[in-house]
Amino acid sequence: MPFLSHLYIRTAFLHLVLALGLAMFWTHPSVFHMLTVGWLTQLIFGVAFWLFPRVSREKPYGRTWPMVWAWGLLNAGLVLRVVAEPQAPGSVWTVLLVVAAGLQWAASLLLVVYFWKRVRVK
């Protein structure tokens, strides 16, 4: 299993544990998103990176920088969201929530850019 799959899948399980732990005493949309984005989506893309058709024999996973950046942006955005969303609206929290939204959207764009090339007729 390539390192990036390992990273995505391990982080996904971390989000699962955290979300289930939080859900015991706190029900909020951000906890639900820790499950759907932090766990499910990251697990999906971690496995897809490993499983989808290889780009070439020399570079089986192609250029992987969008995946690396997407991991950082997605997790930073999600953590920021969990912290800021319950407090918003408020001067600082509003700014943090907007940043969180932007980071998650950018991560989605990078994932689409990367996987578009990996998915092809073979």
Interface contacts to another protein, rule CB under 8 A: 36, 40, 44, 48, 51-53, 81, 85, 88-89, 93-94, 97-98, 100-102, 104-105, 108-109, 111-112, 115-116, 119-122
- Between 31 and 100, name the residue whose CB sits nearer to another protein: 100
Contacts of 86 (CB under 8 A, 6+ apart): 28, 30
d(Cα 100, Cα 93) in Å, to the nearest integer? 10
Q: Give the nearer residue to another protein in terms of CB position, either 4 or 70.
A: 70
CB of 23 to another protein, least distance (A): 18
Q: Which two tokens stand for residue 28?
A: 């909020």
- CB-side exposure of 45: number of CA atoms within 13 Å? 27
**C-beta closer to another protein: residue 23 or 101:** 101
Fill in the DSSP letter of residue 54.
P
Shortest approach of another protein to residue 24 CB, angstroms?
24
**Taking the complex as a whole, how short is the minimal distance between the CB of residue 47 and another protein, in angstroms?**
9
Other residues' Cβ atoms within 10 Å of the Cβ of residue 39: 21
